[in-house]
Chains A and B, each alone.
Chain A
Amino acid sequence: MSTLTAGEIVARVKSNLGFPWRESTYRDTFKFGGPDTVVKGIATTMFCSYDAIRRAVEAGCNMIVPHEDTYWNDRDDVSIVSGDPAYKLKVDYMREHDVVVFRIHDHMHAQKPDFIRVGLVRALGLDSKLETAPQSQHFTLPEMTLGELAASFQKRLGDKAIRVVGDPTAKVSKLQVGVGYATPPINAPDVDVVVSGEGQETDGLLDSPEYVLDAATLGIAKGWIMLGHSISEEQGMLEMAQWIKSFTPEVPVQLVRTGEPFWAPK
């Protein structure tokens, strides 16, 4: 039985990154448990949901490496949530099962290439030959309608609650791929369609839904496809699991999918 600890695994993550660890990160830290916990197996996951933790534990993994927060706010500030019964139940479960949680978000996006982006491009079935420059996330696709493009993404990813803004019959070919909340601006002249996870609907730096609605009124081909935050970023947690596996041969490493939280009405 391996005596590998969570602290030793984190040290290997840091030394395998290829660039210095940013000590200023508030995101990429232990969220539950600590460096001394002996690790039986590692699960990467997109959201550190209770369900994902439970399935990781059932699969023999007690170290969770999530991309996103554990306590329903980005800073994992427990003072916001600690009075809620769900917080107590979640923490009790993790304590009982000797779980350790270490989030890797900022350093994952800083990797070259960013696994999260690589994973989504793979899952969407986008051919790298169609990418305008390596890792540019800009693709020139054969012309099709926005409706056809959105339907093809939904078919590949199976997300029921996909949301699209724009004229479904607009002919589009220039696609930019974003992930999570890092949604590229739709008003760039060299972009017809942006696909990403989630984005603020209005009152931001550039309100894409309103921009696309007005573009459609003017007959300008633009489209905004929101896959959902979880669906857009969990693909790359497979690449993350494979990477961690490459330097932690002592323990099993696997992806535990968080899946789509939503259902959509008919």
Chain B
Amino acid sequence: MQSISRRKFVALTATGIAAAPLASMARSIGGAVTAQDVVDHIKKNIGVEWKAETVDTFKAGDPSTKVTGIATTALATLSVLDRAVKAGANLIITSEPTFFSRSDSPTPPVRRGFGPAGAATAAETPPPADPVFTAKDDFIRKHKLVVFRLSDHWRLRTPDPFAQGLAETLGWSKAAAGDPGHISIVEMSLDALVAHVKRSLNARGGMRIVGDPKLRISKVAFLPGSTPIQASIATLPGVDTIVAGEVREWETVEYVRDTVALGEKKSLILLGRVVSEDPGMQVCAQWLKKIIPEVASTWVSAGDPYWRPTA
């Protein structure tokens, strides 16, 4: 996918919304675009072989539903679904789960020790109805939404759309023209970079930093999503800082802390998984508009789930 500037990106998004009703009207003469059609287009254009084992499947709704609009997001929360409906979308494309687990089942998981504290509940006993699961399922049914997860294949694209989205949102599109995972920026201190990242991504309380705030940063790598220690070990030596989504604290956090304590000029900026994937789903909306121009695609930001007390 070609890299485009942030300004052009915004302009395209706005035009897309305005032009969409006309486009879909034209299309409806020849036949409506269904959710299944959209997914078929995605599979044909994604550029990577579609996996047999994948989380990228329909999670809710009827694939034969006529699509009124597409909303992309990093996390299909009720708030995101509500904003999508208000924007006229009925197909939601999310990079993370909808029903609170990898299995994306609309009923709560059965777990050992489920139930009141200390109660020994047999594993085969189904859990009682959960008001949050039920309300979300009801909302999706009421608005006849279709939800499709696009995660495994979206992150396999080259260049990585999640890194590209972060680079564009941070104003580093030009620097990211080659590999958006590794970027050279105008040198600044770690604390100035952190302030810029926080402001650009509308982060609230999810950001956590390891390293000297006065450290000078010019080489940045992105590790969006959730990454194991192997990714950090392979990446850190070549850069001044890693901007990551989610890592295990006993892995990458301690690795960077030790590296810093042993005298290396390194740092780590943790965004949280959802915040790190949010801009990449904005890129997804733009891509969908190209491959399915007859339907409006808009990005609905999931935002930063976290806050911290203002002590």
Residues of A bordering B, CB below 8 Å:
47, 49-51, 54, 68-69, 72-74, 80-81, 83-86, 89-90, 132-133, 136-138, 147, 150-151, 154-155, 161-165, 168, 176, 181, 185, 187-190, 197-198, 200-215, 217-218, 220, 226, 228-230, 261-266
Question: Do A49 and B229 contact each other (CB < 8 Å), given the known contacts A151-B311, A164-B307, A264-B207?
Answer: no
CA distance A200 to B205 in the complex (A): 16
Contacting pair B309 A162 (CB below 8 A):
yes
Q: Which residues of A contact B256 (CB under 8 A)?
A: 261
Question: Do A264 and B209 contact each other (CB < 8 Å), given the known contacts A80-B230, A85-B264?
Answer: yes
- Beyond A81-B233, A189-B128, A206-B109, 8 additional contacts (C-beta under 8 Å) are A72-B254, A132-B117, A136-B117, A201-B274, A206-B100, A210-B75, A210-B96, A265-B209
Contacting pair A210 B208 (CB below 8 A):
no
CA distance A254 to B237 in the complex (A): 35
Q: Which residues of B contact A133 (CB under 8 A)?
A: 117-118
| Chain A contact surface mostly | loop
CA distance A34 to B262 in the complex (A): 24
Residues of B bordering A, CB below 8 Å:
55, 75, 77-79, 82, 96-97, 100-102, 108-109, 111, 114-118, 128, 130-133, 135-136, 191, 194-195, 198, 203, 205-210, 213, 226, 229-230, 233, 237, 246, 248-259, 261-262, 264, 270, 272-274, 305-309, 311
Contacting pair A163 B253 (CB below 8 A):
no
Separation in Å of the A135 CB from the closest CB of chain B?
10
Contact sample, A vs B, 6 pairs, CB 8 Å cutoff: A47-B254, A51-B257, A80-B233, A151-B311, A200-B246, A230-B249
CA distance A80 to B232 in the complex (A): 11
Q: Which residues of B contact A208 (CB under 8 A)?
A: 100
CA distance A132 to B203 in the complex (A): 37
Contacting pair B79 A213 (CB below 8 A):
yes
Q: Which residues of B contact A201 (CB under 8 A)?
A: 226, 246, 272-274, 305
User: Max chain B CB contacts within 10 Å: which of A83, A189, A220?
Assistant: A189
Q: Which residues of A contact B255 (CB under 8 A)?
A: 72, 81, 84, 86
Q: Which residues of B contact A151 (CB under 8 A)?
A: 309, 311
Separation in Å of the A106 CB from the closest CB of chain B?
14
Q: Which residues of B contact A136 (CB under 8 A)?
A: 117-118
